[in-house]
Amino acid sequence: MYALLRPLLFALPPETAHAAALGALAIGRPLVRLALPRPPARPRRVLGLEFPNPVGLAAGLDKDGRHLPALAALGFGFVEVGTVTPRPQPGNPPPRLFRLAAHEALINRMGFNNEGAEALARRLERRPFPGILGINVGRNRDTPNEQAAEDCRRCMERLFPFASYLVVNLSSPNSPGLRALQAAESLRRLAGELLDARERLAARHRRRVPLLFKLAPDLEPGEIEAIAAVVSELALEGLVLTNTTVAREGLEDEPLAPGSAGGLSGRPLRARAEAVLRAFRERLGPGPALIGVGGIASGADAAARFAAGADLIQLYTGLVYRGPRLIAECVRAAPPDPRA
């Protein structure tokens, strides 16, 4: 089915195709359940949560949580929405999403376009999501880094009742200055404030929601070492590894790539994202949960990411190029739960 649909979608501008695909999925949800092979059972306990399988949807595809039932029908074990900011923002002006079809890649410079935390909360109040839901939060574009914790705390307070887990996005290349928050001292301060906020919210709501941090693939070995030390010192529960890259190696033949602003995802990101995940697992040991994302486009890619130390994986760009059958393929490639 997707093989027939993809040429039609790829004839449209990327952002238009994105909206059209989600709309078609919502309308055709009953057919999706019949047409797609159901992923095999691969339950996994991570972060104190019971995942039906370890393959999830990465943040960015459904920023505002408009299509959760339809996306869950594809067979994902969990879905992550966002990045959500406390105030609505339009993001960067279009065009801001580009296909590099020869490389099965995308460049995006969306810029945290979203309707804001309040709109997402109201939507989840009206239509609670029964599956495992990650909510990815970040600061508004015009918020200085010194006040980033306050922006994230505001999102956490409003969205805490609906989240199975929360992710703080410190790594988008499309929000100016954001990646500076990954520096060890900045991360220590920010994470400390947000962990305190999480404990207050857990006491108020009488439930504990894991708090993770999403990092970039463009970290040097010394930066990984310093961040890993902070993760261990603060006993952080987990990391999402990785976001998109600003590197463009191997894309010299692409007219869109050299000097093109934005984050690169898809096949060219695979090796870099896998190497960063492996480096963090080697330094952190088995304790923190690591969610592997970036360039996963086959069952073999999924198996390699689990072998590198991922507890869970997420898909996005691979889904654009391969279609929904990629989900079951990756679930079949997952090993048994090593923590069982």
List beta partners, residue 97.
Answer: 108
Q: Return phi, psi of residue 281, to 5°.
A: -65, -40
Residue pointed to by tokens 């929405």: 81
Instruction: Say whether 168 sits in a helix, a strand or coil.
Output: strand
Cβ atoms within 10 Å, residue 8: 12
Residue pointed to by tokens 């040097």: 220
Q: What is the number of H-type helices and E-type strands within the chain? A: 12, 13
- CA-nearest of 266, 272, 270 to 106 is 266
H-state helical runs in 235-298: 270-284
Residue pointed to by tokens 């690591």: 290
Instruction: Say whether 15 sits in a helix, a strand or coil.
Output: helix
Q: Which of 172, 175, 186, 260 is catalytic?
A: 172
The DSSP result for 187-238, as a single string, is HHHHHHHHHHHHHHHHHHHTS---EEEEE-S---HHHHHHHHHHHHHHT--E
Determine the Cα–Cα distance for residues 247 and 242; give it in Å rounded to an integer.
13
Angle at 125 between CA 122 and CA 131, to 5 degrees: 120
Determine the Cα–Cα distance for residues 16 and 9; give it in Å rounded to an integer.
8
Determine the Cα–Cα distance for residues 316 and 305; give it in Å rounded to an integer.
15
Q: How far is CA 339 from the centre of its chain?
A: 23
**CB-facing half-sphere around the CA of 97: CA atoms within 13 A:** 18
Q: Is 172 annotated in the active site?
A: yes
Peptide bond into 16 cis (omega under 30): no
User: CA-CA distances (angstroms) from residue 105 to 82, 91, 170?
Assistant: 21, 21, 22
Residues with active-site annotation: 172
